Every structure is written in structure tokens, then in C-alpha cells.
């Protein structure tokens, strides 16, 4: 991999401090970043290079996975960081930035490979891309790439407007849209799990799979993000992006030796195959909820409407569950249940595959009494694979009992999401990023829900903080039930 310049917009922000600097440092220690390294941080405030480097050091000491003790390596890493003042709306600042980038490229002998990482609000994305283009920053002899993070629009129309402005300056293959769920080891493991295990591969079809359940539950409430969250809600904040990405990763079928382009095509195919929601049937397929007061781990917590910064008449959803169908020979008639919410009983992101045909008639003792085989993929905060099988209890009546065979990751050497994703973006590998078609099709699929919410025709169910969500979400499943809501 050739050296490049990492140009970071929003270098004094929270994301940069908590995730981006530690990720770069760990990649550097692992020898995954080409040297010499040049990072140019941008922000509105005046800041000397030394003061900026002190901020970076502080971030490493606070948030890095590997220790940031004083060493030659650490000093070399910190020296790579320089700072330039830039207001995103001032074109002359970009010309100054170009001068800085070029001077360092020449000084350090770095080819004109430039990565523009936009760790700023999405309202700035279009303007920054246009200024990168018009200032000449984007006219490189090497490669140029743009890294952005959700939200990619707030609905289908705004996502399209944003994409048009980005594509005026960058080609689709130069745009790396981060969905940090895709950087998680267990999500990156899904393909291997499905296709490198003949046992699972043979069963990965609608003949054997009863249903798929994808859950991302949080125990926290809105925290300091009230202003943002009260406009966004669970649909925009989680469902349209992270949850549908998990669905695509679970359902896509890749050819052997697949390329990033194959991944993009197969994910698009999943989204194109989703049965569209019908306005009149929405209440059958979608459940919205908002948390009321309750208890989290024994501590009383207020309801959503009593949270600081939330409008006391807000109809914003803090929970959404939906039933989806993929109209494709492999997934036909397999319901996919997705749910995500705040102030739930457990913090967990997990995929459960329930297999069909429990051995109901194995013997009379167990008639109608056996549990199905389950494949449980814990993504976060646990990282584990669990297989639930039935065995005969030799001590007692010979009854069948479910047992869970568990493999747990938990090695501190495992890179964090942002390390995986920044490394891939630097290598130009877009496998684990959100591509435009997926983003567009996801907005398109959720549009009827957004319209129904705006029209106020979808009921908003209340659920107690610390519960598994509204009772209506259990009814959504009919004869099935959510697994692991013990």
C-alpha cells in the first residue's frame, strides 16, 4: 500500500478523539499504515501544530486499545499530525489547505494519494466535496477518496440530493460510507460462517430456516443527543442503516472468490427483493414504541417525554420492530424479524437463525416439547457464536434438552470497527461499506413508514424502560417468538 495524506475535517470533534486517532495509532503499531504518514487536521479554531498534537496524544492515552506509553514509535506517530484552520464554507481556506498538503507531500516524498475524512455534520458534506473539487485538492496524480458517516440524508429525497452533490466531485468507487456495524468482527465473519461450514451451508435456505431475528437493543436513553434524536428516532438512527445492513449481510449469497463489486451487487439484490410495504397493511408489519418510566438494572429512569431536551408531546419512536420478506427462491416464506430500541432490558446486537423441524415425534416423552436448533451470532458487546442443539439427558428421564455450544471471541488483539474500516478505506477495499444503491433502496423501503408516521396513522406503543419493548412487538411474530428474551 502506498503512503497517503489523511485529511481530517472535524479534527477537534468527539468522533476524531474517541475513534479515529486511536484507530490510526493501532493501525500504525500493527504496521498496517504505510509510512511516512501525513495527517492534516482541520477545524475552525486557531490551533498550533503542537497544541493539536497534544490533543491527539491525549486521545490516545484515553481511548487507545493499545497503550500509548512514551516511546520512539509514539513520538514518530504524533509528529505525523499537523493542523490547518478551515471553515467549511470558505473556499480560500481550501486553497491554503492545498498548499499545506502539497508542501508535506513534497517534504515527506508522499505520492498524491489523498483521503478526505469528513468527521463533521452531514449538512457540510456537499459543500466540502464541492470545495475539494474546485480548489484543486481533488486533482491528484494518485488516488483520492472521500469517507463519510451516516446519516446519509433523512429520507429518500434528501439522500438523493446529497448523493448528487457528492457525485459531482467523487466517483462512487471513491466514496466510502462508513456504517460502523460493518466493521465489527462478527459481521465480517458472517460470510465465512455461512459458506465455510458445510453444516450451515447445507441448511442456509428456506427449506430449513424457520425465521431470522435481528435485534439491536440499548439500555441507554437519549443521553446528550436529545436534539438530534428527537428528530431522528429509531427508524432513521438505526433501522434504515445499521439494521438493514445487518439484514443484507445475513441474506446475501456471494459467489466464490467474490469481489467488493459482487458484495455491492448482492446486497443491492437483497434490497431489491424485499417485499415493499403496503400502506394499508403497515400496522400488521411494523410496530413503533416509545419508552415510559421504568427501571434499568434496578435503577429508576424517566420516560422519554421527561428526558431533558425532549418535547413533552413528542411522538418520536424510540423503538421499532418490523417483519420483512425477501421474495427470492432462497428466502421465500422465511419471515425476517428486526427490532431496535432504547432503554431496553439488555444491551445487545444479535442475529438469531431459527431452524425448522424440531424433532417433535422423536419419542412420546418429547412430543411437541423440543426446542428448535438455533444459531445465535452475538455481534456486540459480546462477540460469540452459539449453536443450540437437542441432547438426551442421561441422568433423568431420558428427556431431550436443549444445550448451547458456545464460541466466544474476546481477544484484546482484535481490531476495533474503525480500525478495520479505516484500513480498508486506505487500501481502497469497499467490501464492508455502504454503497449508494443500498442506501437509496433502504430509504425507498422505509418511505411508507415515514409517510405513515408523518400522517400520524401508525400507533405509538408505550413500553416500560428496562423491558423487551412493547407487547405489540411480540404479536408481530404470530406463532413465533423472540428468542433469548429471558
Tell me which residues are annotated as active site. 242
Which H or E run contains 377? strand 374-380
Cα(167)–Cα(179) distance, integer angstroms: 19
Judge contact between 96 and 7, C-beta under 8 A. Answer: no
> Which residues within the stretch 123-162 sit at the binding site for ligand NAD (CB under 6 A)?
149
Cell numbers of 257, please? 472468490
- At its nearest, how many Å lie between ligand NAD and the CB of residue 268? 24
Q: Is 82 among the annotated ligand-binding positions?
A: no
Nearest to 357 by CA among 343, 371, 378: 371
Instruction: Choose which of 36, 111, 122, 302 interacts with ligand NAD (CB under 6 A).
Output: 122
Nearest to 292 by CA among 457, 455, 454, 460: 460
Q: Which is nearer to ligand NAD, 241 or 370 (CB)?
A: 241
Q: Is 93 among the annotated ligand-binding positions?
A: no
Cα(375)–Cα(189) distance, integer angstroms: 14
Nearest to 137 by CA among 3, 36, 9: 9
* Residue 419 lies near ligand NAD (rule: CB under 6 A): no
Stretch that binds ligand NAD, among 22-30, 68-76, 120-128, 344-352 (CB under 6 A): 120-128
Backbone φ and ψ of 437, nearest 5°: -55, -40
Residue nearest ligand NAD, Cβ-based? 13
* Residue 120 lies near ligand NAD (rule: CB under 6 A): yes
- At its nearest, how many Å lie between ligand NAD and the CB of residue 15? 3
* Residue 119 lies near ligand NAD (rule: CB under 6 A): yes
Stretch that binds ligand NAD, among 83-91, 109-117, 330-338, 380-388 (CB under 6 A): 83-91
* Residue 223 lies near ligand NAD (rule: CB under 6 A): no
Q: Which is nearer to ligand NAD, 368 or 381 (CB)?
A: 381
Judge contact between 274 and 444, C-beta under 8 A. Answer: no
Q: Is 168 among the annotated ligand-binding positions?
A: no
* Residue 359 lies near ligand NAD (rule: CB under 6 A): no
**Peptide bond between residue 346 and the one before it cis (omega within 30 degrees of 0):** no
Cα(51)–Cα(142) distance, integer angstroms: 31
Stretch that binds ligand NAD, among 86-94, 265-273, 343-351, 439-447 (CB under 6 A): 86-94
- At its nearest, how many Å lie between ligand NAD and the CB of residue 38? 19
* Residue 91 lies near ligand NAD (rule: CB under 6 A): no
Cα(459)–Cα(453) distance, integer angstroms: 9
Cell numbers of 155, please? 429520507
Backbone φ and ψ of 149, nearest 5°: -130, 155
- At its nearest, how many Å lie between ligand NAD and the CB of residue 93? 8
Q: Is 345 among the annotated ligand-binding positions?
A: no
The residues of the shown chain that bind ligand NAD, judged by CB under 6 A, are: 10-16, 18, 43-44, 86-88, 119-122, 149
Amino acid at each position: 500500500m502506498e503512503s497517503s495524506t489523511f485529511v481530517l475535517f472535524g479534527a477537534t470533534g468527539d468522533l476524531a478523539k474517541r475513534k479515529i486517532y486511536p484507530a490510526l495509532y493501532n493501525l500504525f503499531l500493527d504496521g498496517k499504515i504505510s509510512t511516512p504518514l501525513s495527517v492534516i487536521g482541520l477545524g475552525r479554531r486557531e490551533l498550533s501544530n503542537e497544541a493539536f498534537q497534544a490533543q491527539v496524544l491525549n486521545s490516545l492515552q484515553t481511548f487507545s486499545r493499545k497503550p500509548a506509553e512514551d516511546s520512539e514509535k509514539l513520538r514518530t506517530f504524533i509528529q505525523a499530525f499537523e493542523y490547518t484552520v478551515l471553515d467549511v464554507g470558505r473556499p480560500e481556506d481550501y486553497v491554503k489547505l492545498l498548499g499545506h498538503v502539497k508542501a508535506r507531500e513534497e517534504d515527506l516524498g508522499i505520492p498524491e494519494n489523498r483521503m478526505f475524512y469528513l468527521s463533521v455534520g452531514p449538512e457540510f458534506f456537499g459543500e466540502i466535496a464541492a470545495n475539494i473539487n474546485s480548489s484543486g485538492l481533488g486533482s491528484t496524480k494518485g488516488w483520492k477518496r472521500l469517507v463519510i458517516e451516516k446519516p446519509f440524508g433523512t429520507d429518500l429525497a434528501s439522500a438523493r440530493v446529497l448523493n448528487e452533490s457528492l457525485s459531482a466531485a467523487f466517483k462512487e468507487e471513491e466514496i466510502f460510507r462508513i456504517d460502523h456495524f460493518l466493521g465489527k468482527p462478527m459481521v465480517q465473519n458472517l460470510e465465512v460462517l455461512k459458506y465455510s461450514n458445510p453444516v450451515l451451508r447445507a441448511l442456509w435456505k428456506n427449506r430449513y430456516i424457520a425465521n431470522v431475528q435481528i435485534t439491536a437493543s440499548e439500555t441507554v436513553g437519549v443521553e446528550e443527543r436529545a436534539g438530534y434524536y428527537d428528530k431522528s428516532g429509531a427508524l432513521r438512527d438505526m433501522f434504515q442503516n445499521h439494521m438493514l445492513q445487518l439484514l443484507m449481510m445475513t441474506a446475501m449469497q456471494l459467489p466464490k472468490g467474490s469481489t467488493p463489486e459482487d458484495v455491492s451487487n448482492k446486497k443491492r439484490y437483497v434490497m431489491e427483493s424485499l417485499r415493499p410495504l403496503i400502506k394499508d397493511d403497515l400496522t400488521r408489519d411494523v410496530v413503533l414504541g416509545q419508552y415510559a418510566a421504568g427501571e434499568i438494572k434496578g435503577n429508576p429512569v424517566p420516560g422519554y417525554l421527561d428526558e431533558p431536551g425532549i418535547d413533552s408531546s413528542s411522538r418520536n419512536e424510540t423503538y421499532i420492530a418490523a417483519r420483512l420478506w425477501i421474495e427470492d427462491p432462497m428466502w421465500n416464506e422465511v419471515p425476517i424479524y428486526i427490532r431496535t430500541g432504547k432503554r431496553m432490558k439488555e444491551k445487545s446486537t444479535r442475529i438469531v437463525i431459527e431452524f425448522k423441524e424440531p424433532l417433535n415425534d422423536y419419542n412420546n416423552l418429547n412430543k411437541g416439547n423440543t426446542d428448535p436448533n438455533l444459531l445465535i451470532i452475538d455481534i456486540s458487546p459480546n462477540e460469540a457464536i452459539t449453536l443450540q442443539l437437542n441432547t438426551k439427558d442421561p441422568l433423568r428421564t431420558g428427556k431431550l434438552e436443549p444445550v448451547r455450544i458456545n464460541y466466544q471471541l474476546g481477544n484484546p488483539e482484535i481490531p476495533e470497527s474503525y480500525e478495520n474500516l479505516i484500513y480498508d478505506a486506505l487500501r481502497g477495499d469497499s467490501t464492508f461499506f455502504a454503497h449508494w444503491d443500498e442506501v437509496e433502496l433502504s430509504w425507498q423501503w422505509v418511505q411508507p413508514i415515514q409517510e405513515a408516521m408523518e400522517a400520524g396513522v401508525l400507533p405509538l406503543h408505550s413500553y416500560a424502560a428496562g423491558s423487551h419493548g412493547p407487547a405489540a412487538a411480540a404479536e408481530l411474530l404470530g406463532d413465533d417468538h423472540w428468542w433469548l428474551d429471558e
